[in-house]
Amino acid sequence: QVQLQESGPGLVKPSQTLSLTCTVSGASIRSGDYYWTWIRQPPEKGLESIGYIDYSGSTYYTPSLNSRVTISVDTSKNQFSLRLSSVTAADTAVYYCATWGSREAFDFWGQGTMVTVSS
């Protein structure tokens, strides 16, 4: 059973960079079994896929966020990370890390971490 845990600051100032890390247990990021993904959910709103990275470092970012997003992987720590630059209040959301596996679905999810953008 894959387990995921998000970590990072809960408050970020406007125009700064949001940085989150997802620690993976129960699977190796090197295994190639999953795409490692980030998804967010603004308060009282629906889900939005942010992007993903695979074990080789290949990435995909949703077009609306492409210019501000970077997803990276640290195989030595079995972690992957999200950086979102130039944040505004519209980036306030619960951020989830999740796996995309052979079922072609988001199989496993972290519990989510709330990030508020405010001065």
Partner 1 sequence: QSVLTQPPSASGTPGQRVTISCSGSSSNIGSNTVNWYQQLPGTAPKLLIYSNNLRPSGVPDRFSGSKSGASASLAISGLQSEDEADYYCAAWDDSLNGVVFGGGTKLTVL
Using rule CB under 8 A, residue 47 touches partner 1 = yes
Give the DSSP letter of residue 76.
T
d(CA 73, CA 84): 15
Nearer to partner 1, 43 or 76 (CB): 43
Contact code string over 78-117 relative to partner 1, x by CB under 8 A? ------------------x---x--xxxxx-xxxx-----
Using rule CB under 8 A, residue 42 touches partner 1 = no
> What's the residue count for the chain?
119
Q: Which of 48, 68, 70, 85 binds partner 1 (CB under 8 A)?
A: 48
For 78-107, b where at least 16 C-beta lie within 10 A, e where not — what string? Answer: bbbbbebeebeeebbbbbbbbbbeeeeebe
Closest approach, Cβ 61 to partner 1, in A, equals 8
Using rule CB under 8 A, residue 3 touches partner 1 = no
Q: Which of 20, 27, 51, 69 binds partner 1 (CB under 8 A)?
A: 51
